[in-house]
Structure 1
């Protein structure tokens, strides 16, 4: 029986090749989309799950109560405080991530690495190739490498006991080699240097600092068995009182974040999953698959009249409804199997593009494994039932007497059929996606062209391995000799950066004290000119403003301390926390976006602190540069930089490109929405084309009669197209409010954003109407041009 059903199913597919192609291709695209999204979601939700102590490892986070915002970075004093004041913690592991130059022999590279101590190896699971995990980082000037980095620097994994150098200042002994970390880890560290080495490299580093925190300094704890995070509230309150004072309790709270959630927030590995993006991905995958299934349902039920006599004969000779349902489900299953095979081929071809678009390390090994096979099998089964069950019920339910007497499907007295409803749903989804793509791209365009309060064009940034005054003077003198370079500024970071230095400041007026959480911008006397920041009042900073502390304040800082005019602010004192150290405001600058446009502009102070100059901003003379002139300028910058730092690795970046990285999540979302929109519209139009073909076939005699009676080609095209256009118009009416709500919710993520305007929906509707017209008109015109004699003779 099964063999007979499969044979009949094959014959049915071959008999209706056009409809079969639309069904198989549509389902294949939908299933490939679902499989690829499954791979992405599975990868992003599997981070750190292999850690054996997963349920007891937490990151200590820093919450600002007034802001309602939580930061992953901590005060450097927290590491020692947790060891002495948190007995519920079995282990404490601090990490500090920075960039330095490492060398071994003639190999030299600029690397991102972490300072860590022994707690890291006792808390986290590592596979050791050589070395003693109990002592590897207990001594100063020691380093642990991954296998890959041992090969990179020494050409062999047997690197134990070998010497490498950091910043050409300090030799490091390789105390251990560990296996390369898996792709699904939040601790992607190739180089781990002992924390006790830090004092040798930076004598000014304070491991007991409680004034200002760094997002690159994070602390993890392994709680003792049975201890829950909420049990430690009083402990953290005590730590705040002990080290920061009771007044800090009003604005400060420390809390624990589970390791299993670390991948969804900022982490030291810089591999952060966007929960919203994963949800959007999953929802889009479901929608695209449903659209493909709706095509199958529509085309299968539309062909019911062609199967009418077959069903009537089967029932007349004794076939029951159960066997008929089985036959039609078999046909749906065969279509789905073919679609699954094609979906697998598409997935192999598209996986590299998806991995590149989302910056996720996915390979064919992720595609060809048991989990993916099980998912694809279950997906095929669900798709078969979803796409085939309703058509099977509909076709098997025909009355045998009616089926044998008629060759057309009688029209039910209903104003809206299921088939029309499914078409409306398809185009509603497509319209929502098109509108979303349009608005996301407008928001990204707004990001690219927004006035940031400074000039980001034609600025090249390079790292500073050594910020000694004589080195900086040498570099500046070398660079400014070139006619292509307009100005050079040394600073902690750029005018706008994702990694910033936060500081608690106080403004005191008699007994009244105003506390302001302030972003500190460390820059030299050229900072304003290089970045084009406007000075509103007072005077710019001088490079000598280090002994008698002087600062520039932005307008928001003035607003927070209650000073009304820039001129009034000049000369005012502001204090660092609740201590006696103060700085004097010597000038006020116009507000500029110190963060990305996701966030409000912070109260900001600019201060000259040469010890914290880690970057040079180099402004080119012309903002309209050619590729040749940029290449020449970079060559000169590299030559000057190498003369100043002969044993270091030169790396550069363009400021505008660096700032664009802050919006990579939105850029990826836009790309995904665009691809999904294309797929959804393609599948919907394939289905619409099939329905238009079917309608034209069904109304062949009517078209012939109308032409004989004098109907024009235009009137016949209008006749065949208007019913479909009505469905598109209904979809526009439904999709517009849905798209408005979805995008208004998405735009809430941004402090600076576009306005949603009516013309966006009008353009979307027009695009969909034109697309539907082009899809339907091909078959309509073809039917209208058919010889009426042939139309009237056809059966």
Structure 2
């Protein structure tokens, strides 16, 4: 049996020989038994021990020891978790506030992150998406630039035949008005009805649940529909080979059904018919030399599949030669063709005649910045609150240090608690995200799904988020607590030094600086949107009802108009080819003294005699189109002031000769004179400057504008419906107020405004949590001082001033730093509009005052609590 001294010697030598700090008791007992056996055989203690150490497999010894160390570490981790949970229970208010702030901030980041992921994922689900491009046209004529997303119809075939790097092409076209579709007694008007070449399904990848994508558009009367439309029109029946009647007289056969079109694509459709069908319809009207065969009508969205993504740059360099080869001499000098990656259209393309309004990369940056800022504010808030909680545990840490815990262990303990809190907060944040995602989808007009977070890449990102948030928020409290000296902590000293206090104040300044930037952003965005809604457009948009026109009604337009005017709520009615405020296309004109070989391109809209009276636009010179002058029907033009200036007729435009080419032909269809000039009015959105405009009479309208004045719109709508059925029973009447129509032009801005509103409130709430924590910490450090001041006669107002002045300085500093940042960012955003507000200092001042008021109210809780407390209790405070 070994003596105590012998066992101590064995333990000492084992530790030294194996380089171990600790030794498992079971391992030590096992080695002692082996030493005893060898000593019985005649070996000395040293010989026996050396043989065991050098001859026995040291790996097994180390393995057992490492297992012991691991068990020890797991026990420590378990102890850390138990301590963390107890601390959370002990400080429920602080812990709840801390967790809530971090969870809300993380949930905000996740929601905005889902938005950003969706925005940058547009059209990436297509096979070979990196090889897909759209070609667009920029035409500069007469110092006016038309930058359009479309191109001439013949370009697709010419590109494919001339350039081997172009593997395949297809074209898209959409009619101006909605389409009437009927199955049996079901009748609907649809807006997402497109015509396309059969190659659309070779280049764009959509999942077919019925039919063959290779042959779906091979026949001229075939039609591909989406799954939603199949259910809408045919219910549970098999839609394949069923028929849908188009525009009352054309019968399409269903040849394919596409699974729901992903929301993250710039091309949203419900129906796709062969472009060959539409071409055949045009040829019936214009013959074989119609505008669809010409190079000056940009009516086709044209897509290319290139050999590889590197071929795009080379093809782009060849575009000037392509223009020179095919485009008419009169316009080729002003034509530039450009290639856009399909995946870049949604965020980088805001051209005229887009398939649908796109978003903007700037908004992605804004949403991403808001998400990151809110997350940082939440981490700062967590840091400040965690610091307050940690200061209350200095004696615990000092005791641990005195009992042998190293500074690194203390650091790891605090940091581990932070990671645990971060993990819990992210878990809660995911639940919050799932609950509020439907609301967020409504707010942003998205179809985001929480399932995105469970994808491999997203899961890794969420785990990284836990680590980043946990380390970012917990590293400062961990460092702060672990650096205290044992004696000072056990004595209860809590002075943290000016440097650490300055750091926490800097964090609060950042929180409020970010909040002020967001508040200023809210104010400026609201002002700009109000400006867009209230700006004088040059005509009276309030009370204008836009009714979609149809051919049957156009044929009896005067009778329809007279019948509508019988209702006292309808003051006037005018027919137009384009909706005021939404733009129009450019046509070829030959002004007096001009050349037929070099016509002038000018935007043209057709209207009737009542346009001026209905819209209440202002006539500045001459007269408007009139029934009393029969020649106005086919020989008169009205210009806006921009057109008169462009044509060089600013001083004397009346009576000048002007001729108009027909669409797609080289024939003059109108030869007349200028009879009047109207004041410039906004015929496009306020994103664009006012362009020249020519107005002429043509009764083939696309819309009717009704000036209405009534408080009973339900009765008025019923009257319109009944009247409409008498003229076009096969069509459902469609109408909406012009205000609603124009508001769609600013949908992105409205969504941005609403989103920033809500997330700014969250940012301010979380910032207040941080200020609340710093206020609590400040009071803790100065509670004896405040007690002494009260005993010495300080009033409540003196106490308020004493405590609040430091925080007022912090918030004012944040406000001053925030102003230039907000000014720079908002100036850049306002540059997206041709017409915008001037930044007003009042918005910045209001945001600063609001931030100061919110800060004072937040900190006042602590001040009131200590100001009205018994000073004796303050002096007893430990």
Please confirm whether the aligned pair reaches a TM-score higher than 0.5, indicating the same fold. yes
Distance 1:151-1:69 versus aligned 2 partners, 3 A rule = same
Instruction: Report deviation, 1:466.
Output: 1.4
Counterpart in the other structure of 1:91: 168
In the alignment, the residues of structure 2 paired with residue 458 and residue 133 of structure 1 have an alpha-carbon distance, to the nearest angstrom, of 47
In the alignment, the residues of structure 2 paired with residue 473 and residue 69 of structure 1 have an alpha-carbon distance, to the nearest angstrom, of 35
Q: Is the 8 A contact 2:109 2:372 kept in 1?
A: yes
Query: Does 2:455 align with 1:381?
Result: no
Distance 1:234-1:312 versus aligned 2 partners, 3 A rule = closer
Query: Does 2:74 align with 1:2?
Result: no
Residues 45-124 of structure 1: matches in 2 within 5 Å? 45-64=120-139, 70-82=147-159, 85-86=162-163, 88-98=165-175, 99-112=178-191, 113-124=193-204
Distance 1:681-1:383 versus aligned 2 partners, 3 A rule = same
Partner of residue 293 from structure 1, selected from 362, 369, 379? 379
Counterpart in the other structure of 2:443: 357
Distance 1:53-1:369 versus aligned 2 partners, 3 A rule = closer
Counterpart in the other structure of 2:745: 662
Instruction: Report deviation, 1:387.
Output: 0.5
Deviations 1:85-106 (A, max 9, x none): 5554332211111321000101
Instruction: Report deviation, 1:3.
Output: 0.1
In the alignment, the residues of structure 2 paired with residue 511 and residue 196 of structure 1 have an alpha-carbon distance, to the nearest angstrom, of 35
Distance 1:3-1:151 versus aligned 2 partners, 3 A rule = same
Distance 1:212-1:529 versus aligned 2 partners, 3 A rule = farther
Residues 133-532 of structure 1: matches in 2 within 5 Å? 133-156=213-236, 158-199=238-279, 201-202=281-282, 203-204=284-285, 206-214=291-299, 217-224=300-307, 228-233=311-316, 236-264=319-347, 265=349, 270=356, 272-412=358-498, 417-466=502-551, 469-497=554-582, 500-507=584-591, 509=593, 517-532=601-616
Counterpart in the other structure of 2:717: 634
5+ unaligned residues in a row in structure 1: which ranges? none
**Secondary structure of residue in 2 paired with 1:386:** helix
In the alignment, the residues of structure 2 paired with residue 131 and residue 297 of structure 1 have an alpha-carbon distance, to the nearest angstrom, of 59
Query: Does 2:702 align with 1:702?
Result: no
In the alignment, the residues of structure 2 paired with residue 768 and residue 81 of structure 1 have an alpha-carbon distance, to the nearest angstrom, of 62
Counterpart in the other structure of 1:590: 679
**Deviates most, 773-782 or 131-140:** 131-140
Query: Does 2:702 align with 1:619?
Result: no
Q: Is the 8 A contact 2:633 2:698 kept in 1?
A: no
Instruction: Report deviation, 1:472.
Output: 2.2
Distance 1:115-1:579 versus aligned 2 partners, 3 A rule = closer
In the alignment, the residues of structure 2 paired with residue 604 and residue 147 of structure 1 have an alpha-carbon distance, to the nearest angstrom, of 43
Deviations 1:591-612 (A, max 9, x none): 001111111001111122333x
Instruction: Report deviation, 1:786.
Output: 0.7
Q: Is the 8 A contact 2:153 2:293 kept in 1?
A: yes
In the alignment, the residues of structure 2 paired with residue 6 and residue 226 of structure 1 have an alpha-carbon distance, to the nearest angstrom, of 53
Instruction: Report deviation, 1:68.
Output: 6.9
Query: Does 2:620 align with 1:536?
Result: yes
Instruction: Report deviation, 1:221.
Output: 1.9
In the alignment, the residues of structure 2 paired with residue 349 and residue 726 of structure 1 have an alpha-carbon distance, to the nearest angstrom, of 39
In the alignment, the residues of structure 1 paired with residue 385 and residue 259 of structure 2 have an alpha-carbon distance, to the nearest angstrom, of 55
5+ unaligned residues in a row in structure 2: which ranges? 1-75
In the alignment, the residues of structure 1 paired with residue 597 and residue 277 of structure 2 have an alpha-carbon distance, to the nearest angstrom, of 40
Instruction: Report deviation, 1:201.
Output: 4.8
Counterpart in the other structure of 1:40: 115
| TM-score normalised according to structure 1 size | 0.93
Deviations 1:461-481 (A, max 9, x none): 121231674232342232122
In the alignment, the residues of structure 1 paired with residue 315 and residue 368 of structure 2 have an alpha-carbon distance, to the nearest angstrom, of 37
Counterpart in the other structure of 2:28: none
Q: Is the 8 A contact 1:170 1:201 kept in 2?
A: no
**Secondary structure of residue in 2 paired with 1:588:** strand
Q: CA RMSD in A?
A: 2.6
**Secondary structure of residue in 2 paired with 1:714:** helix
Q: Which has the larger radius of gyration?
A: 2
**Deviates most, 588-597 or 576-585:** 576-585
In the alignment, the residues of structure 2 paired with residue 678 and residue 233 of structure 1 have an alpha-carbon distance, to the nearest angstrom, of 47
In the alignment, the residues of structure 2 paired with residue 694 and residue 194 of structure 1 have an alpha-carbon distance, to the nearest angstrom, of 72
**Deviates most, 96-105 or 267-276:** 267-276
Deviations 1:616-668 (A, max 9, x none): 11111x2xx42xx1111111111111221101122211101111111111111
Instruction: Report deviation, 1:718.
Output: 1.2
In the alignment, the residues of structure 2 paired with residue 476 and residue 659 of structure 1 have an alpha-carbon distance, to the nearest angstrom, of 24
**Secondary structure of residue in 1 paired with 2:856:** helix
**Secondary structure of residue in 2 paired with 1:110:** strand
In the alignment, the residues of structure 1 paired with residue 296 and residue 233 of structure 2 have an alpha-carbon distance, to the nearest angstrom, of 38
Instruction: Report deviation, 1:693.
Output: 2.2
Instruction: Report deviation, 1:150.
Output: 2.1
Q: Is the 8 A contact 2:384 2:773 kept in 1?
A: no
Residues 638-657 of structure 1: matches in 2 within 5 Å? 638-657=721-740
In the alignment, the residues of structure 2 paired with residue 454 and residue 171 of structure 1 have an alpha-carbon distance, to the nearest angstrom, of 42
Counterpart in the other structure of 2:62: none
**Deviates most, 445-454 or 195-204:** 195-204
Q: Is the 8 A contact 2:166 2:305 kept in 1?
A: yes
Distance 1:227-1:712 versus aligned 2 partners, 3 A rule = closer
Residues 682-697 of structure 1: matches in 2 within 5 Å? 682-697=765-780
Q: Is the 8 A contact 1:213 1:502 kept in 2?
A: no
Distance 1:603-1:670 versus aligned 2 partners, 3 A rule = same
In the alignment, the residues of structure 2 paired with residue 83 and residue 773 of structure 1 have an alpha-carbon distance, to the nearest angstrom, of 69
Distance 1:656-1:133 versus aligned 2 partners, 3 A rule = same
Q: Is the 8 A contact 2:590 2:658 kept in 1?
A: no
**Secondary structure of residue in 2 paired with 1:610:** coil
Q: Is the 8 A contact 1:104 1:165 kept in 2?
A: yes
Instruction: Report deviation, 1:691.
Output: 1.8
